[in-house]
Amino acid sequence: MILNEVKWGLIGCGDVTEVKSGPPLQLTPHSKLVAVMRRNGILAQDYAKRHNVPKWYCNADDLINDPEVNAIYVATPPNAHLEYAVKAMKAGKAVYVEKPMARTYAECQEMIKVSKETGIPLFTAYYRRTLPAFLKIKALVDSKAVGSVRLINVRFYSPLESESEMKVTPWRYHPEISGGGLLFDLTSHTLDFLDFIFGPIGKVRANALNQAHLYPAEDLVMANWMHESGVPGTGTWCFTTSELNNLDEVEIVGDQGRIIFSTFKSVPVILDNDTGHHEFPFERPKHVQSYLMEKIVASLRGEGESPSTGVSGARTSRVMDEMVKSYYHEIS
């Protein structure tokens, strides 16, 4: 599938599309946003007006079947990703789907199956694979700045969100919509980036718990895993700590040093090795998905490849399924 100009239809005009992902659809060369859809027609019309989008719909099928649209960005909660992605691909439209790719690995596989059957490209919004700070981390690893990597440590502790914050994106706490809890919405970024650096994750062992009993999904996950490349990793994610314990840190330990970085915080990448202590500051782009959008548009024009696809996105969903399966088995 080769497109001269990518003409996007956006399904789901939520907060993520206001600054992070919506503007790159219009700002990227050879790309434009021609239609948006939201079930609430008033909100869809308002979004279209504010972002200078010529068309708006309140029915997804109408947008998917718009003859001017040749690519679909699915930015709904995960429970609708499979349905809309499949419909779009069967209609001959390229698909870019928000992360997590779907609620389960099985749903991801179904999306990939349709992509292969139709020959329609499928991309996932794991944009850290293209951000300068994260490319620097990969370059440090690839250049052996810390020697041979021995292990990965991930620690993510965050306080419980307030009731008002939880109401903004309530779907993140309900497995029937998201597939799991905040692990699926937040941790997916870290796991996908580690896949990007070290290759696919193979064996996973984990315990998932609900300690605070404030919502149905898991709120604590402790895991260890092995990348197929032979690099082991361990991680602890707790979403109900205090502000004093607020921590977002990934440590890559080698036989000649270590790299420390944050998945979400705008802090310098740190390298400690035999040449000393080094800090690499990076500014967070205003439109964080812009670099990935450039890659996707280039791919659709036959001028390059996207580092984040349906295949790579599905691998992260499989890992998360493995991490929480014991918890959902126990409560089912």
Give the residue extent of every domain in the chain. 6-126+288-305, 132-284
Q: Residue 14's pLDDT is what? A: 87
CATH homologous superfamily, domain 132-284: Dihydrodipicolinate Reductase; domain 2 (3.30.360.10)
What pLDDT is stored for residue 141 in this prediction? 98
Residue 191 belongs to what H/E stretch? Answer: helix 188-198
Low-confidence ranges of the chain (pLDDT < 70): 330-332
Q: 6-126+288-305 maps to which CATH number?
A: 3.40.50.720
pLDDT, position 32: 97
Query: Are 174 and 78 a contacting pair, CB within 8 Å?
Result: no
User: What confidence score (pLDDT) does residue 332 get?
Assistant: 55
In the prediction, which pLDDT does 331 show? Answer: 62
Predicted structure pTM score = 0.95
Q: Are residues 264 and 248 in contact, defined by beta-carbon separation less than 8 angstroms?
A: yes
Sequence-distant (≥ 6) Cβ neighbours of residue 93 within 8 angstroms: 9, 64, 69, 70, 71, 72, 120
The DSSP bridge partners found for residue 273 are 257, 276
- Per-residue pLDDT, 169: 79
